[in-house]
């Protein structure tokens, strides 16, 4: 009897010795990289500059974006095929995936983290889901005229359990209040300008500002005083009388708010524009290498990193926000698509799609410190976004 007990214990100890040792890790230094051509996603560790895993089977990621659960464990991936995929970045696998539309371009997660909203080109509108189960909570068709549905763009979360989005075809801004989930309220702002194509939400969540592709200027909605309605600002912002070819629409979510000034991409022009946030007037134009796509600030707002549309999309430039002069221009490689700063900004990760890699730069020295292989990388998203308004 005693011998059998010892044999059992020996077998148990041997089995345990061969079990993999799980190393607990926090989510604060994790993130994901979209591999657009293969429908896959890389889970990365920013402190170790390493790739932890690849998750496959996410569908069409040619225009994908990501938001995170408030505990930073789950990444919600919005695919161009209408897919909404919930990825567990700790267990490194798909938790749940649904096809909720025909063509989606982005999404947002609510202030309390319980709702995920998806912006759709087709069928046109916004759908809202339970963040835990991905069950449909609300369907908001963007019907701007009888029988006419609009593409929805510029979807962001805003304070007080609300979502805000623009109707590209309907020239409107809608505010969806989900403070009562069973009875959401929709407020519509009409005649905001022709073809709003993307929008900036200021970091404090107060101002929502869509750019207008169909005319010069921008729209501005003050969420502290929505009773004032939508105001028009920057009447000279855009292509002007001479319509220039636009190779890629700039992403206004990549605006920089630095102190009292906003730095943002010109449409169809080789300029970064500077606006005084007190007067809402342009105060400067910074000539840059090409048509800017992302104009992104280091977390301390001391630098602005800019990438460009084709045919200059092999180039990066860094601008000093105080002097507004260019600190460095260089060519990392073909198709520089996206940038993401580590939470405190000591490094920035850059996707170089056609070189099949991710470059990592020290933002003090502006020198490359590491490279990681990736298949057609595009969007890079780190988990600190879980705690920022409008991302």
**pLDDT digits over 260-294, tens only?**
899 988 887 899 999 999 999 999 999 999 999 99
Q: Are 179 and 167 in contact (CB under 8 A)?
A: no
pLDDT tens digits, residue range 37-82? 999 999 999 999 999 999 999 999 998 999 999 999 999 999 999 9
Structure tokens at 249: 């629409």
User: How confident is the model at residue 244, as a pLDDT?
Assistant: 58
Cα gap 390→163, rounded to integer Å: 9
Q: Tell me how many degrees the CA angle 178-180-186 measures, rounded to the nearest 5.
A: 45
Tokens (6 digits) for 162: 């609300």
DSSP state of 148: E
**What is the residue whose two structure tokens read 């979807």?**
155
Average pLDDT over residues 94-121: 94
pLDDT tens track for 307-353: 999 999 999 999 999 999 999 999 999 999 999 999 999 999 999 99
How many CA atoms are closer than 13 Å to the CA of 242, on its beta-carbon side?
3
Least Cα distance to 216 among 241, 250, 179 occurs for 241
The pLDDT value recorded for residue 203 is 87
Per-residue model confidence as pLDDT tens digits over 197-234? 888 899 889 999 998 888 888 899 999 999 999 999 98
pLDDT over threshold 70, residue 253: no
**How far is it, in rounded angstroms, from Cα 138 to Cα 124?**
14
Average pLDDT, the chain: 90
Domain segments of the chain as ranges: 100-248
Q: Which helix (H) or strand (E) holds 119?
A: strand 115-122
C-alpha span between 253 and 204 (Å, rounded): 14
Architecture of domain 100-248: 7 Propeller (2.130)
Residue 15 pLDDT exceeds 60: no
Which pLDDT does position 252 carry in this prediction?
65
pLDDT digits (tens, 9 = 90+) for 176-196: 999 999 999 999 999 999 999
Helical residues (DSSP H) of the chain, grouped into ranges: 2-17
**pLDDT reported for residue 12:** 47
Q: What confidence category does residue 241 fall into, taking pLDDT thresholds of 50, 70 and 90?
A: low
pLDDT band at 18, cuts 50/70/90? very low
The model's pTM is 0.91
With beta carbons less than 8 A apart as the criterion, state whether 95 and 87 touch.
Answer: yes
């Amino acid at each position: 009897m005693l011998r059998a007990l010892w044999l059992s214990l020996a077998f148990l100890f041997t089995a345990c010795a061969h079990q993999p040792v799980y190393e607990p890790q926090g989510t604060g230094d994790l993130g994901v990289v979209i591999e657009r051509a293969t429908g896959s996603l890389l889970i990365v560790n920013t402190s170790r500059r390493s790739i932890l895993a690849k998750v496959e089977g996410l569908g069409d990621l040619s225009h994908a974006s990501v938001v995170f659960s408030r505990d930073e464990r789950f990444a919600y991936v919005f695919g161009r095929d209408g897919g909404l995929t919930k990825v567990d970045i700790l267990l490194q696998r798909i938790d749940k995936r649904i096809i909720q539309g025909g063509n989606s371009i982005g999404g947002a997660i609510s202030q309390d983290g319980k709702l995920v909203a998806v912006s759709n080109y087709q069928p046109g509108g916004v759908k809202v889901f339970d963040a835990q189960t991905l069950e449909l909570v609300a369907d908001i068709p963007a019907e701007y005229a009888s029988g006419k549905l609009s593409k929805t763009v510029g979807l962001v979360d805003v304070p007080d359990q609300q979502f805000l989005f623009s109707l590209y075809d309907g020239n409107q801004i809608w505010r969806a209040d989900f403070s009562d989930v069973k009875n959401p309220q929709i407020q519509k702002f009409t005649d905001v300008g022709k073809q709003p194509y993307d929008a900036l939400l200021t970091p404090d969540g107060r101002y929502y500002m869509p750019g207008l592709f169909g005319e010069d200027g921008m729209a501005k909605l003050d969420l502290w005083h929505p009773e004032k309605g939508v105001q028009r600002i920057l009447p000279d912002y855009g292509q002007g009388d001479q319509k220039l070819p636009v190779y890629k629409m700039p992403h206004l979510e990549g605006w920089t708010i630095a102190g009292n000034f906003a730095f943002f991409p010109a449409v169809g022009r080789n300029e970064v524009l500077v606006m005084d946030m007190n007067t809402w007037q342009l105060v400067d134009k910074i000539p840059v290498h090409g048509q800017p796509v992302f104009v992104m600030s280091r977390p301390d707002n001391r630098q602005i990193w800019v990438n460009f549309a084709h045919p200059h999309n092999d180039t990066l430039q860094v601008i000093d926000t105080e002097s507004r002069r260019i600190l460095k221009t260089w060519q990392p490689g073909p198709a520089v698509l996206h940038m993401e700063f580590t939470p405190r900004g000591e490094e920035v990760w850059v996707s170089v799609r056609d070189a099949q890699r991710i470059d990592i730069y020290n933002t003090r020295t502006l020198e490359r410190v590491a490279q990681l292989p990736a298949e057609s990388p595009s969007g890079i998203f780190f988990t600190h976004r879980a705690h920022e308004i409008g991302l």
